[in-house]
Amino acid sequence: MAPAEAADPMWPRQARVRASRQDTRDTWTLELALEGEPAPEFAPGQFHMLWPFGVGEAAISICGDPDAPARILHTVRAVGPVSRAIAATAPGDVLGLRGPFGRGWPIDEARGQDVLFVAGGIGLAPLRPAILRLLARRGEYGKAALLYGARTPDDRLYPAELEAWAERGLQVLSTVDAAPLGWTGSVGVVTGLIARADVDPARTTAFVCGPEVMMRFCALELVRRGVAQERIHLSMERNMRCAVAVCGHCQYGPTLLCRDGPVLSWEALRPWFAVREL
């Protein structure tokens, strides 16, 4: 491949599935490797466009370690034809890949501050690279906490990693919507955990990812507790087709999320969250 092509995220590549792991009843994590070339570096919060040939293409957040970009990881929830086809791939299968694309989490800009991660369901996957970046440079940040909400204990992603992250200096608090007998954690919405986060709102940068209704109420609660609007960052999900701000499918208010996002501040998003069915 020519150098110009190798540097162009629009250039289609073949990515072979090296490993596949089922995480929950409807979610899989795939490890991919590019055919004949190294994987490009990515920023936490960016995404790839993946396509199973003959089915379609979808934007999937990168959930790997940004300090080890050669190991391409994607956690995929099988909810539609494309994501189901991606999740159904097995080691040795090949997917099309473009990217990385988008504006990611400003985790490097948060150095010296307290950091709060708030995730709902599969929203933990796009946050994972930012969490790994913080833990790799733990001494450069203040206090750090992860609040994670899932439907049930069995629907939580990366349970072993949650424990390992706590051992590395990240406060980890989990809650579920419904739990069986024997569950000793919290039951309820993830916003209920915000008061328990060991961070100083006045010096906190927050990264929030999950369903839009959950992100809205989290942002409102964070502002109420003193976190500045411009330091609350949300990852928005829309139907992305081209990934380079041409087709308009991902327009949200004045923004095109594939180019201007998917990560945007609450300060920028707040007016558009007030528009019904936008």
Each of the 278 residues of the chain gets a pLDDT tens digit; together they read: 444 455 577 788 999 999 999 999 999 999 999 988 888 899 999 999 999 999 999 999 999 999 999 999 999 999 999 999 999 999 999 999 999 999 999 999 999 999 999 999 999 999 999 999 999 999 999 999 999 999 999 999 999 999 999 999 999 999 999 998 888 889 999 999 999 999 999 999 999 999 999 999 999 999 999 999 999 999 998 888 898 888 989 998 899 999 999 999 999 999 988 887 77
Stretch (H or E) spanning 72: strand 72-77
Supply the pTM of this predicted model.
0.94
From CA 228, how far away is CA 221, in angstroms rounded?
11
SS3 of residue 122 by DSSP: helix
Q: What is the CA radius of gyration of the chain?
A: 18
Amino acid identity, position 271: P
Q: CA 252, 256, 259: angle at the middle one, nearest 5?
A: 145
On whether the CB atoms of residues 115 and 203 are closer than 8 A, the answer is: no
Ordered structural domains, the chain, with CATH: 3-101 (2.40.30.10), 108-273 (3.40.50.80)
